[in-house]
Amino acid sequence: MSITLKPRRTQTTRRGLRAALATVSAVSLVVLTACGVTSDGGDPGGDLSDQRLRMMIPNAAGGGYDLTGRAAVKVMEDEGVADRFEVSNVEGASGTVAMQRLLNEEGSDDLLMTMGLGVVGAVYTNQSDATVDKAIPIARLIEEQEAIIVPADSPFTTVNDFVEAWKADPDKVIIGGGSAPGGPDHLFPMQLADAVGVTPNDVAYVEYDGGGPLTTALLGSKIDVGMSGLGEFAGQIEDGSLRVLAVSGAERLDTTDAPTLTEEGIDLVFTNWRGVLAPPGVDDATVDAYIDAFEEMHDTQAWKDVLEQNGWSDNFATGDEFGEFLNEQNDRVRTTLTDLGLA
């Protein structure tokens, strides 16, 4: 499972995903309020095990952020790290709507939001000023490597075959990705182009609405190269109809027999990561309590099981370390998108 379920538009059902959640959470909110249990009454900071918290998910149920956020919440509840989370999906503009809502709730000491690389870029392409550096970083949870995928009968057998052809004529190598401009599958080829000496503006990028349509295009050889997380291609890679030229992380994956870019002499490490933010204006004691809670969650066996079940790589960081990383990512994404005229 990867970010590629991220909705864009046209699919009613997809939008419908968030509806029942919203309904359910609205109903439960009403019920809770009626019982006189509100989240504002508790003592912020310290132990979270008697706190009622809210987790906002910036895309539809079943999408990448949703699976990550809900898995984290479930482990925290089951292990007694936190008392109860109310999860709501706030969909729209690839996460921009949720990001705006997070910043609007300045000082709310019961709200967290799951986000990731896609949200960093989406706020720029949507020309919103709700950038991620305005929120308080809590924890980076997981990462997923991008892969360079070609159809079985592609002339490219190594990533360098592809890069050579690409450098010779970027117009002749059509690249598809499962995200809109600003999303991980778009940022990756742009940064790769930069790293190998192709002008990002010359990249022939074709946007697909998630992993399904991208797979279709690859299987039909409509495009030359696909760039996306590996999650949705497992079956095709297994049966040999698609091949992986390289993966984008610092180290090889156990599950996929493909070199990293650095092994192949390309100086680029790129991962699609997901983490958790809190709104600005939350006091330090609460932030520390959040961080403690996520650290506690990260140490549980249940979380390790979740990582394995979903094929996610552990890439845990909290507080300042995550904050520095977030700022670095934010700058890098902004530069890439500004160069392309998209931000």
Partner 1 sequence: MDLLLDGFAAALTPTNILFAVLGVLLGTAVGVLPGIGPAMTVALLLPVTYSVPAESALIMFAGIYYGGMYGGSTTSILLNTPGESSSVITALEGNKMAKTGRAAQALATAAIGSFVAGTIGTVLLILLAPTVGPLVVKLGAPSYFAIMLLALVSVTVVLGSSKLRGFIALFLGLAMGLVGMSSGQPRMTFGFAELSDGIEIVVVAVAIFALGEALWVAAHLRRTPLEIIPAGRPWMSRSDWSRSWKPWLRGTAFGFPFGALPAGGAEIPTFLSYVTERRLSKHPEEFGKGAIEGVAGPEAANNASAAGTLLPMLALGLPTTATAAVILVAFESYGLQPGPQFMTQNEELVWALLASLFVANALLLVLNLPLAPVWAKLLRIPRPYLYAGILFFATLGAYSASASAFDLGLLLVLGVLGFAMRRFAIPVLPLIIGVILGPRLEEQLSEALDISRGDYSTLWGEPAAIICYLVMALVVAGLVAAQLRGNRQDTRTPETEKDEVHT
**Interface residues toward partner 1, by CB under 8 A:** 1, 5, 7-26, 60-62, 66, 88, 90-94, 96-97, 100, 125-128, 171, 174, 180-182, 186, 204-210, 212-213, 215-217, 219-220, 222-223, 232, 234-236, 238-239, 241, 309, 342
Which CB sits closer to partner 1, 107 or 235?
235
Shortest separation between residue 188's beta carbon and partner 1, angstroms:
15
Shortest separation between residue 298's beta carbon and partner 1, angstroms:
21
- Rounded to an integer, what is the distance from CA 320 to the centroid of its chain? 20
Which CB sits closer to partner 1, 140 or 243?
243
Cα–Cα distance for residue pair 83/244, rounded to 1 Å: 43
Shortest separation between residue 15's beta carbon and partner 1, angstroms:
6
Which CB sits closer to partner 1, 93 or 246?
93
Tally of helices (H runs) and strands (E runs) in the chain = 11, 10
The answer to whether the beta carbons of residues 19 and 75 sit under 8 Å apart is no
Cα–Cα distance for residue pair 187/196, rounded to 1 Å: 14
Q: CA torsion angle for 155, 263, 117, 188 (degrees, to 10)?
A: -30
Shortest separation between residue 181's beta carbon and partner 1, angstroms:
3
Shortest separation between residue 262's beta carbon and partner 1, angstroms:
29
Cα–Cα distance for residue pair 167/173, rounded to 1 Å: 9
Count of beta carbons in the 10 Å neighbourhood of residue 168: 11
In 3D, which of 24, 13, 17, 130 has the Cα closest to residue 64?
17
Which CB sits closer to partner 1, 202 or 324?
202
The sign of the dihedral angle between the CA atoms of 6, 12, 18, 20 is negative
Which CB sits closer to partner 1, 32 or 204?
204
